[in-house]
Structure 1
Amino acid sequence: MANSISSRGATTDSNGVREYKAPESVTHSSAIDYRAAAGFLRSRAAIVSSDIVDLHNQATEGDLRTRAALKTRMGVKSLLNELAVERGMAWADIAKLAGVSVSAVRKWRTGGDASPEKRGQLALLAGFLDLLEESLIEDPAQWLEVPLSLPDGYSVRPVELYALGHLIPVLEIAGLRREPADVLDEVLPEWRSSRKSNYEVFTANDGILAFRERENS
């Protein structure tokens, strides 16, 4: 005898044994819908967040260009005075970030003129330090020399990233918008293998932090 419907969601065979067939759960179906909607919203939020980051970075680049353009109105000696005397940058760092030798900077200090390109580099650096200060970096020149907060054993300074042309990522770190390690993974992918330091920081007997060579280096 064929199975017959004995109650909603159940069938009865010829021996009178019920075979239960669970109806589709409205709650389960709704949960699937909610998860799908939540997943879509998360995807959209990630896209919007990425767009906002890109927009902010574009605005920062525009701000930096504007500041640099205004700084180019200054003479080379005035720019050097702002960078070295007012900001406290080392002459060697100024030369490195401007892409010239220390002797070239020395000539500029004594009245020698710089090319428009190099003058622009000095102006860009001066504008960049202004933006760092607005990110609540009290001493921008010194901060550029301080190693970033990375896992123990790694040493990368912001000035190195600047020299490689990664100005906006440095500003992202300074503004606490991104973690240094995340930035380095993006702009310097090999840093975990190439930037491991042979030195470590330790507390000396007098309580002062000092450097020493790692035992396994």
Structure 2
Amino acid sequence: MTISFSCSNLRDDATSGNGDYRLDKLPETTPSTSVFDRADVNYRQFTELHGQVRDTRRKAHMAELESKTVERARCAPMHALEQLADYGFAWRDIARVVGVSVPAITKWRKGAGVTGGNRLKIARLLALIDMLSDRFIDEPASWLEMPIQDGVGITRMDLLERGRYDLVLALASTHTGDGTVEYVLNEIDPDWRETVVDNVFESYAAEDGVISIRPKQ
């Protein structure tokens, strides 16, 4: 009788009739480098897919906003301004978003002529309020004045002043996922942790490796 083995998993080769013992084929193992490579590929694919989904949602939001803007543009600017005031907007905030002075807003309220471009901006702001209402946001004016994140000196109104309606709608979504706030801040200012974080807060690396902010010790 002959015995051939390596490690374990011996079996009796009964069919051979000679009483030999042979090894079952050992399962193949995947090198750790291959596992890491596969995980890296999966992560990149997830990141790319997440970015595509976010971009698709952004385009859908903006398409809806433009559709509502067309509807709101039918309203006379004087009446549109009064509706914004009813929602709680201060004249200075409307002036900021539209990009004009408060005296200009005052003249428009009294019926003075408005350029087509400014009429469109007023209509777009009113259309945004319609969309915020659809997303169950009460008192939208005060919501827009809130900081995007505690300890960060950027508000949603600041986003509107910069024309980033898409980012405001991303924050208003009922399905806002993890990372949305950081994504918005990075879009506005990649150096936001150094430039717009209040002095009473500091940046730190959390346990998961993500850079976050906390009150200074």
TM-score (norm 2): 0.72
Aligned pair 1:188/2:189, yes or no?
yes
Q: Distance in 2 between matches of 1:148 and 1:93?
A: 17
Give the superposition deviation at 1:133: 1.9
Q: 2: CA distance between counterparts of 1:169 and 1:24? A: 57
Do the aligned partners of residues 43 and 191 (structure 1) sit closer, same or farther apart at CA in structure 2, a change above 3 Å counting? closer
Q: Which 5+ residue runs of structure 2 have no aligned equivalent?
A: 8-23, 202-214
| Larger RCO (alpha carbons 8 Å, 6+ apart) | 2
Equivalent residue, structure 2, for 1:65: 66
d(CA) in 2 for partners of 1:78 and 1:42? 51
**CA separation of 1:35 and 1:155: change in aligned 2, threshold 3 A:** closer
**Structure 1 match to 2:149:** 149
Distance across 1 between alignment mates of 2:200 and 2:43: 43
Q: Which moved more, 1:49-58 or 1:113-122?
A: 49-58
**What is the rounded CA distance, in whole Å, between the counterparts of 1:155 and 1:31 in structure 2?**
45
Q: How many pairs does the alignment contain?
A: 184
Tell me the residue number matched to 2:4: 7
Fraction of identical pairs, as percent = 27
| Cα deviation, residue 171, structure 1 | 1.4
CA RMSD of aligned residues (A): 3.3
User: Would the alpha carbon gap of residues 32 and 62 (structure 1) be closer, same or farther in structure 2, given more than 3 Å must change?
Assistant: same
State how far apart, in whole Å, the 2-side matches of 1:170 and 1:101 are: 23
Q: Shift of the alpha carbon at 1:196?
A: 3.1
The residue identity in structure 1 corresponding to 2:161 is A
Find the aligned partners of 1:125 and 1:25 in 2 and give their Cα distance.
68
C-alpha separation between the residues in 1 aligned to 2:192 and 2:43?
31
Cα 1:179–1:45 shift into 2, 3 Å: closer
> In structure 2, the residue corresponding to 1:186 is in which secondary structure?
helix
Q: Describe the shift of the 1:154–1:59 C-alpha distance in structure 2 as closer, same or farther (beyond 3 A).
A: closer
CA distance in 1, matches of 2:58, 2:49: 14
Aligned pair 1:168/2:169, yes or no? no
After superposition, residues 87-106 of structure 1 pair within 5 angstroms as: 87-106=87-106
Cα distance change on mapping 1:133 and 1:25 into 2, 3 Å:
farther
- What runs of 5+ residues in structure 1 fail to find an aligned partner? 1-5, 11-22, 201-213
Residue 199 of structure 1 and its aligned partner are, at CA, apart by 7.1
State the 1:69 CA deviation.
1.1
Alpha-carbon separation, structure 2, partners of 1:43 and 1:56:
20
Write the mapping of 1:60-139 to structure 2, written as runs, cut at 5 A.
60-85=61-86, 87-139=87-139
2:158 maps to a residue whose letter is E
SS in 2 for 1:26: coil
Structure 1 stretch displaced more, 59-68 or 125-134:
125-134
Corresponding position of 2:208? none
Counterpart Cα distance in 1 of 2:153 and 2:25 = 59
Displacement, 1:27?
Answer: 4.4
Offset of residue 73 of structure 1: 0.6
Distance 1:44 1:154, change over 3 A: closer
SS in 1 for 2:50: helix
